[in-house]
Amino acid sequence: MKYVGGAARAAAEEQTTGERRTRNRVASSILGHGPSTAADLAERLGLTQAAVRRHLDALVAENIVEARDQRVYGSRGRGRPAKVFALTDCGRDAFDQAYDQLAADALGWIAQSAGGGEQGEAAVTAFARARVAAQAERYRELIDAAAPDERAQALARALTADGYAATARSAPGPAGEQLCQHHCPVAHAAEQYPQLCEAEAEVFSRLLGTHVQRLATIAHGDGVCTTFIPQAHQGRPAAAPEEPAAPAPPVRPPAAPPDPAAKSASPAGPAAPVSAAGPAEFAEPAVPTRTDHAPVSTSGRNPA
């Protein structure tokens, strides 16, 4: 993705993140209060009904919530019952923190079983690397099939399919790209065990074929996990180091006939050196020759 208008692009990213947070608030309100109408949600969240309906449409498209007819107990008045919005099974899974806590507990058990301290941290690191390595195998085929300058976007699409809501955009200037993950399914566990984030960055580096730099993580309190990918990920072929642009020594053709016009007028002195630069303005001035011969060429080129 080409970088067009850095400030505008960054503002668009922030707007996307802000909208996702608002949608999470809408879904959380439904989780805490049960199926709700757009009017109920607008009142609880301090939003307009139009804004709530726009976020509800997006949540329905993502299969987080679904619209149902409102159940009416007792006598029902005229008109169609209002639509209420309830969480789907997928939506409930998104809020289920039991698995995240279970993962943190399991990592703690691994660390303690390995003896704690540095040995425990090493065991957690080994587990984290094994986990993301298996995840990377599913990504490798997609990334290898992409053009070199589109691999960051291919990685973002693969991460999005796994629930990370990732995007890739050009960083300001020609330095590289930024991979942004707007959601982290293991943020709670990664807060306690940063080895998960470190192992993920290592996998990104191997998949893209270049060193990457993690700039921010949700686990550390940032709004977005941001990874900087330098321009080297475009996979330019390696070239030999450039040598100084010094001209090679002139080589005289073995079969070149002598040029009578190029003879020096002074038989005792050596012939004037030929400039390797070629153009006449950089050569030494030619010594005048006898007028009964052809004029001396000042082009600096070998007539042969």
The pLDDT value given to residue 5: 58
Q: CA-to-CA distance for 29 and 293, rounded, in angstroms?
A: 104
Q: What pLDDT is recorded for position 233?
A: 46
In which order are the strands placed within the sheet that holds 225-230? 166-170, 176-181, 225-230, 213-216
Residue carrying the six token digits 């005048």: 288
The string of pLDDT tens digits covering residues 250-273 is: 555 555 555 555 444 444 444 444
Residue 153 CB neighbours (<10 A): 19
Average pLDDT over residues 134-139: 89
Taking residues 28-56, what's their average pLDDT? Answer: 91
Q: Is the pLDDT confidence value at 216 over 70?
A: yes
- φ, ψ of residue 237 to 5 degrees: the values are -65, 140
Mean pLDDT computed over 90-117: 83
For residue 44, what pLDDT is reported? 93
Identify residue 151 by its one-letter amino acid code.
R
Q: CA neighbours within 13 Å on the CB side: how many for 265?
A: 12
In this prediction, residue 231 has a pLDDT band, given cuts at 50, 70 and 90, of: confident
* Per-residue pLDDT reduced to its tens digit, 164-195: 889 998 876 667 899 999 888 888 889 999 99
Separation CA 266–CA 65 (nearest Å): 100
pLDDT in tens, 3-19: 445 556 656 665 667 78
**Residue 2 pLDDT exceeds 70:** no
pLDDT in tens, 72-81: 544 555 656 6
pLDDT exceeds cutoff 80 at 57: yes
pTM across the whole model: 0.51
